[in-house]
Each structure stands twice: as C-alpha cells, then as structure tokens.
Amino acid sequence: MNSSVTVGSQPLTPQDVVAVARHDARVTVDDDALQRVADTRALIEALADDPQPHYGISTGFGALATTFIAEDRRAQLQASLIRSHAAGTGSEVEREVVRALMLLRLQTLSTGRTGVRPVVVETYAALLNAGITPVVREYGSLGCSGDLAPLSHVALAVMGEGEVRDAAGDRRSAADALAAAGIAPVALREKEGLALINGTDGMLGMLLLALHDLEMLLTTADVSAAISIESQLGTDAVFAADLMALRPQLGQAASAANLRAFLAGSPIVASHRGPECTRVQDAYSLRCAPQVHGAARDTMTHAAQVAERELASAVDNPVVTVDGRVESNGNFHGAPVAYVLDFLAIAVADVASMSERRTDRALDVARSNGLPPFLADEVGVDSGLMIAQYAAAGIVSELKRLAAPASVDSIPSSAMQEDHVSMGWAGARKLRRSIDGLARVLAIEVLTGCRALDLRAPLEPAAATGAVRDLVRTRVEGPGPDRFVSPEIEAVTELVASGAVARAALA
C-alpha cells in the first residue's frame, strides 16, 4: 500500500484513494499543479473586477443565479453558501468515506479548472495529513449538483467552523483542531465556495472503496462455493475450461478457473468420481457458481471503468476551460456513478443469495449427500448450524431490498432549478451496507462448509480448501456439541472481511 500519494501530476488511482482513505497515506500536491491553480485564479480575479455579472463569481447560486452581488458582499456570499449547504443530518459518515471525499475534491481543485487559490488546495492537503476529519452526516445529498451537503461540511471545517474528529478520533470544534495542527482557516473568496462543493466525490469515493472490497469478496465467494461443492460431494467436471470457452464471458472464465484451482487434487472429489457415481447433475447453486459469480465480476469491471473515467474528471460548475473560458455545465450530475452503484448492489444481492442456498443445502439431510441434519453433533439434542442459516437468510432478504435502485428516483429541489437528481449518494450508502452483508453471508457459508469438510473425515479436502479450513480452525473449533454460535460467525466474518480467507486459498 502506498505510504504517500501525489496529487495533481496525473489522475489518482483507486489504490491511491484506498491508501489515503483507509491507511492514512501522506498527501503531497505537485508543484506544477499549484502553478496551474495560481494561473487559473488570475483569470477568476480578472472576471471578479468585470462589471458584467459572471455566475458564481459575481452572482448568486442555483435559482438565484441572476442576482448580481456587489464586491463588498462576495466574501459573505461564499461563507453563507457553505454554512447554508452544510445541512446534513443523521449519523456520522465513516472516517474512510470522508477522507476519500476530501482527497477526490483535492484532486479536482488541483487540476486548475476550478479557479480556487493555491492556499485552498494546500489547506485540504494539510487537513488530510493532520488526520483531521470533518463530521459529515448521513443524509443531505441528492447526488446533484454533486454531493453538496457532504462537501459543504468539509468546506466548513476548512473555514475553521463546524465539527471535526481529530487524529485521535476525538470530536472537537474545527477551530480548535486546526489551531492545534497549526493550520490557518481559509477565508473564501469569489468562486471558491462553489468549487468546494460541486462534485461527485462522496459517491465516487464510496464506489472506489466498494470495488476494492468486492474484488476480494468475489474471490472469497469462489472459495466458499468450492468448499460447499466439495463437502456436499459435488462435481468439478462442469467447470472445465473447454466448457467455459463455449460461453466466452470473461468473469465466468475467471471464477471457473478459481474453482478448478481450489478443488484441484481433492480426495473428497475423487472419492465419488467415476462410473459408479449415480448423480447426474448438481443443483444450480453448485453447478452455476461461475456463471453468477462471473456476472458479478463483469459488473464490477464495468463499474471500475466508470470510476476510472470519473477519477480523470474535473467536476465543477462553472468550470474554467483550458483556453480560459468560465462556463456553466452539468458535469456534476451523478448519474454515471449512481447507475453503477445500483448495478453493484444487484450483483452483491445475487451472489449472497446463491451462497445462502449452498449453506442451506449443507444443513438439509435430504440434499447434503450423507451429512447429519444441520451438521449437528447429537441429532435431536443439538441444533447445529440451523440458526446460522436463518441469519444468512435474513441478511439476504435485506440485500434484496437494498438492491432496489436509488437512481430511478428523483425529487426536484432548488425551486425546480435542480429538477432531476441522481440520488447517487443514497446508492453508495446502501451499497456499503450490502457489502457488509455479503461478507457475513459468505462467512456463514465458510463456517458451515468447513464443518462439513471435517465431517467427511477420513477423506481430506483439497490443498486450497483445506488451508481455509485450517485457518478457520485457528478461530473456531471443529464439530461438536452446540456452542454459542454468534462469536464464531463474527470471527469468521473478520477472516472474510480482512481478506484472510481469500489469501489462504490462493497461497
């Protein structure tokens, strides 16, 4: 993971965003970028002196765009914009999301297309490096004009107002935190208030974090499927490369290759391979795992392409063009990001749904091919993992509700000036909850599948699935009388969410 990230020389990478958001990588701003910022600011200051009105420079905003603002009131205009737009409500947004949002806004400011002064750019970097995180609230953004309310809470802190969390996580006033860090608050000037809040940075930050997590979780889904297929005496023949080539979907091929690798050399699979095996076909949740997991992978690839384009964007309104024009535009509309956030939530729900079905099969004596009911130790006395499946089913039910798209909704705002909005922030918030749910559903499948593997003794699992079983056994005991199940689910969820399960299988 990067220990430092340079902003302004070229577009940030997804890895850069994760490094700063989650791992507190230090941020530096490229000197050439600061010069571009200064050059563009000179254009804004020339327009500020022009007696003709220019939107966002010498006028009001939104529905008040035709109202001319006298020079002696423009500093108040910028401050009022930020104070009034910092109207979020609800629970605090996670630190990593706010840091991603701040970094992405810093990147746009550093392009020299927004018209802010260099001191604004430097102050955003200083807050990130000091570990100062503005308090941003859950609700308030409609995803157009960008993430106005969340970005306004950040801008408010840059002004030395509002509340923040310091590097120790303590909540305090922005004025105190900035003073303690030796950072001078910024008094905003013409155009700067708009430049700080017109962007898709919040929804994009959450998309990038989600993609990072999903890459690992979809590999984990292949691992958990392999464990279920193996422990339920399923076949690996259906994952053959030549069969996959008949339908050349890229994600499907990748998932099938994982399943072949994870099941390679399995004595359990070998034990029922051959003419004496009377089973004709496995259930879809076993046989079609590459098709579903692969479709999710392809969805993720599409979302990553959208995110990459957004990372290369300078989203603001108005924007300063390369040839020096100041032009209004609609690039702040969150639709491109909002759509893929919703698309990913659909894929997450479906992968989790298939995982839960495999878990249920392992617990059903009529379908598990010789495993005890609910994998219980003393049938009738013990319930085994019966209620673990209930937990998975409850999560999957919620994931299906979260898969309902946010981006198809729109509520007009700003006196009908902003009459169509993306709801991308809401889509990003529910995707974060969906990813958490997927990790838990996969953990329950891994927990169940590892117990089922142990119950196939003396037959041994494949090297990859056996490595995962051994990892789980460092945190959770093997088969036996009923125990307190919740801590075991939480322990395996931690292994899944940290990537430990995927790494164990791939090692």
Query: Model confidence over 430-482: pLDDT tens digits?
Result: 999 999 999 999 999 999 999 999 999 999 999 999 999 999 999 999 999 99
Residue 469 contacts residue 459 (beta carbons within 8 Å): no
> Which pLDDT does position 73 carry in this prediction?
82
Distance separating alpha carbons of residues 105 and 279, to the nearest angstrom: 57
Put residue 474 in one of left, alpha, beta given phi > 0 → left and psi -120 to 50 → alpha. alpha
Burial 19-41 (b: 16+ CB within 10 A, else e): bbbeebbebebeeebbebbeebb
CA 128 to chain CA centroid, nearest Å: 20
Distance separating alpha carbons of residues 266 and 283, to the nearest angstrom: 20
> Which pLDDT does position 280 carry in this prediction?
67
Helices (H), 420-485: 424-455, 463-473
DSSP H helix total and E strand total for the chain: 20, 9
Residue 9 contacts residue 30 (beta carbons within 8 Å): yes
Active-site residue set: 55
Residue 356 contacts residue 389 (beta carbons within 8 Å): yes
All residues at 6 or more sequence positions from 313 whose CB lies less than 8 Å from its CB, including other chains: 108, 331
Distance separating alpha carbons of residues 107 and 423, to the nearest angstrom: 23
Distance separating alpha carbons of residues 60 and 49, to the nearest angstrom: 16
> Which pLDDT does position 70 carry in this prediction?
80
Task: Point out the residues of the chain with pLDDT beneath 70.
Answer: 1, 60-66, 275-280
Residue 108 contacts residue 160 (beta carbons within 8 Å): no
297-350 pLDDT tens trace: 999 999 999 999 999 999 998 899 999 898 989 999 999 999 999 999 999 999
Residue 186 contacts residue 159 (beta carbons within 8 Å): yes
Domains of the chain: 4-199 (1.10.275.10), 206-314+340-506 (1.20.200.10)
> Which pLDDT does position 277 carry in this prediction?
67
* Strand partners of residue 89: 139
Torsion from C-alpha of 101, 106, 107, 108, nearest 10 degrees:
90
Distance separating alpha carbons of residues 489 and 347, to the nearest angstrom: 23
> Which pLDDT does position 478 carry in this prediction?
97
If residue 139 lies in a helix (H) or strand (E), which one and from where to where?
A: strand 137-139
Distance separating alpha carbons of residues 26 and 19, to the nearest angstrom: 9
The two three-digit tokens of residue 436, written as one number:
């958490």
